[in-house]
Amino acid sequence: MSLASLRRAATETVSGLPREFWWLWTSTLVNRLGGFVATFMALYLTLDRGYSASYAGLVAALHGLGGVLSSLGGGVMADRLGRRPTLLVAQASTAVSVALLGFMHHPVAIAAVAFLVGAASNASRPAVQAMMADIVRPEDRVRAFSLNYWAINLGFAVSSMAAGFIAEVSYLAGFLLEAGMTMACAIVVFVKLPESRPVQTVAAAKEEAVGLGTVLRDGRFMSVVGLSFLVALVFQQGSVGLPIAMGEAGFAPADYGMAIAVNGVLIVALQIPVTRFIEHRDPRRLLVISSLLAGYGFGLTAFAGSVGVFALTVCVWTLAEIVNAPTQTGLVVHLSPVHGRGRYQGMYTMSWSVAGLVAPLMSGFVIDRFGAEWLWGLCAAVGTLAALGYGALMRRLPAEDTPGGPTAPTTAKPEVSAA
């Protein structure tokens, strides 16, 4: 490919998206660049504070539980208060709680504040996704979600590498640096992002009232949430099951680091070109294929006996992740009513948060009782089940209810005031 072709492809990838999207994208990138605490929390508790691995696991579980509860709360806030106020409250609260966590010493206090950090940090995600759907044209949403996912992984890759160096100097510096960068995100939102929640008349509000009960009764959407949970359960094994299995097989932590680094490198390198390739392709097939790639990518881990083969299996399920993330997010937006996007995104986010809680329990139980090979076989089975579920669900959806299908015009317009 010539330099001119690369320049044209890059221009087409980023062109046509509103300025507000790029400020939101910048906020996401800065937030992930400062995501040090999640990376070194276990080391901080066990090596620096001298707590047991069991206590570190408890703190991680409480952090995840906070995220589960705030997923729904953040979605309700995004619909009721607006996207912008929700982002400001969530990001400011995250900054304060992360800084506070660095000064906690008592085990109960650490656990309690870790729960608050999980709740505050996760509350912003439904608002980000809802705001993105508000400000980006339907035909550009898959591309926008892909660019946002790329920013998340770029920031995570950089922060993961930086976390090790920061931890060697001072763990407290890592907490304070993350708090400062999260507060910078809140400032970006306050200064540059207007409210985007669609304006709704009083009459329309009565006719189109959306509550959590509405979301739960939406069988079609809840099927997507359930399938999302299955896929997330498989992807989570990259950070919970894989390191345990490699450790039991005699591989060093550095070996796991080399294998899992492939995930971040591939996402940063391939997310944008792959999205250009799949942007206008049938999402029904993409969700089925990505579920199978995820399941069998992890399934192949049962045959890995070297770091190189482990890295090859990571390549397979990373490709599934690259395809699944923007396609599934686009489907969620298409199935969400305009004035209920926050609640719908909150329920979708919760499926990933719950998977983050269940995956460590599942991997630990299966590996201890049956062996790692059974875990990878189970991943293949879960991926197959998700693929069958997506295939059955998407056949029942009319074309206008799938990403890329015809969309009906909406009379709702986003608010433009910055107040």
pLDDT tens digit sequence for 338-352: 778 888 888 888 888
Same domain membership, residue 151 and residue 95: yes
What pLDDT was estimated at residue 231? 95
Does residue 221 sit in the same domain as residue 261?
yes
pLDDT of residue 2: 56
Least confident of 151-160, 249-258, 321-330, 402-411: 402-411
Residue-wise pLDDT tens digits, 195-253? 888 876 544 445 456 677 888 888 888 999 999 999 999 998 887 788 878 888 888 87
According to DSSP, residue 197 is labeled P
Residue 411 lies inside a defined structural domain of this protein: no
pTM (two decimals): 0.74
Kind plus residue range of the DSSP H or E element containing 100: helix 83-101
What is the spatial distance between Cα 254 and Cα 235, in angstroms, rounded to a whole number?
21
Claim to verify: residue 152 and residue 283 sit in the same structural domain: no
Res. 384: pLDDT tops 90: yes
* Amino acid identity, position 322: I
* Same domain as 75, residue 29: yes
139, 232: one domain: no
Share of the chain above pLDDT 70, in %: 87
| 112-141: average pLDDT | 88
Side-chain half-sphere of 362: how many Cα atoms within 13 Å? 24
Confidence band of 383 (pLDDT split at 50, 70, 90): very high
Q: Which domain holds residue 155?
A: 20-197
The reported pLDDT for the residue numbered 398 is 55
Distance CA 86, CA 190 (A): 11
pLDDT for res 396: 66
Confidence of residue 410 (pLDDT cuts 50, 70, 90): very low
Q: Are residues 193 and 214 both part of a single domain?
A: no
pLDDT at 96: 95
Domain end point (choices 197, 218, 247): 197
Give dist(CA 9, CA 15) in Å, integer: 10
Do 65 and 142 belong together in one domain?
yes
**Residues 172, 239: one domain?**
no
Q: 383 and 284: one domain?
A: yes
- Write the pLDDT tens digit of every residue in 91-121: 999 999 999 999 998 999 999 999 999 889 8
- State yes or no: pLDDT of 404 exceeds 70: no
- Domain contains 165: yes
| Statement to judge: residues 108 and 219 lie in one domain | no
Q: Do 304 and 262 form a contact (C-beta atoms < 8 A)?
A: no
322 within 8 A of 271, measured Cβ to Cβ: yes
Residues 379 and 230 both lie in one domain: yes
Q: What is the CATH number of the domain that holds 45?
A: 1.20.1250.20
Residue 407 has pLDDT above 50, yes or no: no
Please state, rounded to an integer, the average pLDDT across all residues of the chain: 82
Angle at 356 between CA 110 and CA 295, to 5 degrees: 155
Of the pLDDT bands very low, low, confident and very high (cuts 50, 70, 90), residue 386 is very high
Q: How many domains does the chain fold into? A: 2
In a domain, 13, yes or no: no
For the beta carbon of residue 257, count every other beta carbon within 10 angstroms. 13
Q: What is the pLDDT of residue 148?
A: 86
**Token digits for 374?**
């059974």
With a cut of 80, say whether residue 182 has pLDDT above it: yes
Spatial separation of the C-alpha atoms in residues 191 and 23, rounded to whole Å: 10
Same domain, 344 and 289: yes
Give the model's pLDDT for residue 53.
67
Q: Identify the domain boundary among 139, 166, 197.
A: 197
Q: Mind listing the pLDDT tens digit for each residue in 245-304? A: 888 888 887 788 788 878 888 888 888 788 778 777 788 889 999 999 999 999 999 998
